[in-house]
């Protein structure tokens, strides 16, 4: 690394040096513009309500010791008084099964589509591909009425299944793409031992498919965590069941000027996605790319 830099320095003409500097400055400027919105929110969430309302967050950045007025109270009050803590737990309760269930169902289906012969295989496959981009808007109303009739409205089971339905075509398609590429020899080698399709699926196919499963899991997890529309309709805004997104949007409505609540509340909703982003960045990018076509 150091060697190449010295080498580069020797070869660069003054004109090229200026170009390099300008290029780096341009990228720095873009990065700053892209980061400032989130950064301002983060800084504000740690300042006292009084400070947020009297001076801009940038004054706290430039004079952190005199103009900062740092505190954690915003978080404490938004978690307890504004029920964001409950919402956080509800979000986990919704998101974990709403990720595991579609992946499981999709993996079974993908295996059958890729490696089993049965009547209707082609039809199911075309359905999966066709339904991938169907907007979930067209499903909402009949499902909402169905949920009200069956008592599924406002239940965890109801929203797990709803997210399962909306995520399933994409999950099946992605996992099919991966599972169908497993070498035939590997699948057939297991057959000789007289294993059932089920054990072959669990002990051979699933372990081999971990990368594809992980990418989709991250995508689905974030999709469900960040979803507002499905939660709003099928789970509702009642405080004991509301998830972080519905809770935050309620707070925007009821406490739209209370920035100490909104900034800390918004950041709480973002903690989980950001943790996934920084912790599993490679899978994160892959998952977001794979999932971008979701309907």
Size of the site for other proteins (CB under 8 A): 113
Nearer to other proteins, 120 or 207 (CB): 120
Q: How far is the CB of 75 from other proteins (least distance, A)?
A: 15
Q: How far is the CB of 120 from other proteins (least distance, A)?
A: 8
DSSP secondary structure of 83-127: -HHHHHHHHHHHHHHHHHHHHHHHHHHHHHHHH---TTHHHHHHH
Q: How far is the CB of 55 from other proteins (least distance, A)?
A: 6
- Residue reference for tokens 């009821």: 254
Q: How far is the CB of 295 from other proteins (least distance, A)?
A: 7
Residue pair 55/67 in contact (Cβ under 8 Å)? The answer is yes
Q: Does 186 contact other proteins by CB under 8 A?
A: no
Q: Does 57 contact other proteins by CB under 8 A?
A: yes
Phi and psi for 22 in degrees, rounded to 5?
A: -60, -45
Residue pair 257/97 in contact (Cβ under 8 Å)? The answer is no
| Binding test (CB under 8 A) with other proteins, winner from 89, 186, 189, 210 | 89
Nearer to other proteins, 161 or 213 (CB): 161
Nearer to other proteins, 41 or 208 (CB): 41
- Lookup: tokens for 156: 């965890």
Residue pair 243/235 in contact (Cβ under 8 Å)? The answer is yes
Residue pair 219/291 in contact (Cβ under 8 Å)? The answer is yes
Nearer to other proteins, 69 or 144 (CB): 144
Q: Does 70 contact other proteins by CB under 8 A?
A: no
Q: Does 190 contact other proteins by CB under 8 A?
A: no
Q: How far is the CB of 9 from other proteins (least distance, A)?
A: 13
Q: Please report, as residue ranges, which positions from 91 to 150 form the binding site for other proteins (by CB under 8 A).
A: 93, 96-97, 100-101, 104-106, 108-109, 111-113, 116-118, 120-121, 124-144, 146
- Lookup: tokens for 52: 């947020």
Q: Does 217 contact other proteins by CB under 8 A?
A: no
Residue 128: CB atoms within 10 A of its CB come to: 20
Choose one: 10-18, 69-77, 158-166, 187-195; the region binding other proteins (CB under 8 A). 158-166
Residue 101: CB atoms within 10 A of its CB come to: 19
Nearest to 230 by CA among 117, 110, 108, 91: 91
Residue pair 267/277 in contact (Cβ under 8 Å)? The answer is no
Q: Does 204 contact other proteins by CB under 8 A?
A: no
């Amino acid at each position: 690394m150091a060697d190449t830099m010295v080498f580069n320095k020797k070869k660069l003409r003054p004109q090229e040096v200026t170009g390099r500097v300008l290029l780096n400055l341009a990228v720095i400027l873009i990065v700053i513009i892209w980061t400032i919105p989130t950064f301002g929110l983060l800084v504000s969430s740690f300042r006292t309500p009084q400070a947020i309302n009297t001076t801009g967050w940038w004054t706290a950045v430039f004079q952190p010791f005199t103009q900062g007025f740092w505190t954690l109270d915003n978080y404490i009050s938004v978690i307890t008084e504004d029920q964001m803590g409950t919402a956080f737990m509800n979000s986990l309760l919704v998101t974990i099964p709403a990720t595991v269930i579609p992946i499981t169902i999709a993996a079974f289906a993908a295996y059958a589509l890729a490696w089993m012969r049965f009547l209707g295989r082609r039809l199911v496959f075309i359905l999966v591909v066709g339904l991938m981009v169907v907007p979930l808007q067209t499903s909402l109303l009949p499902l909402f009425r169905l949920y009200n009739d069956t008592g599924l409205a406002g239940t965890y089971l109801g929203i797990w299944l709803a997210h399962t339905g909306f995520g399933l075509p994409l999950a099946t398609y992605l996992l099919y793409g991966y599972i169908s590429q497993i070498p035939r020899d590997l699948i057939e080698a297991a057959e000789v031992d007289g294993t059932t399709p089920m054990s072959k699926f669990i002990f051979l196919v699933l372990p081999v498919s971990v990368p594809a499963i992980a990418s989709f899991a991250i995508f689905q997890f974030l999709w469900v965590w960040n979803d507002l529309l499905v939660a709003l309709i099928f789970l509702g805004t009642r405080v004991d069941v509301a998830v972080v997104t519905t809770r935050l949007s309620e707070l925007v409505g009821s406490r739209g000027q209370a920035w100490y609540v909104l900034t800390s509340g918004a950041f709480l909703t973002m903690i989980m996605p950001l943790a996934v982003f920084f912790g599993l960045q490679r899978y994160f990018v892959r998952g977001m790319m794979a999932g971008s076509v979701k309907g």
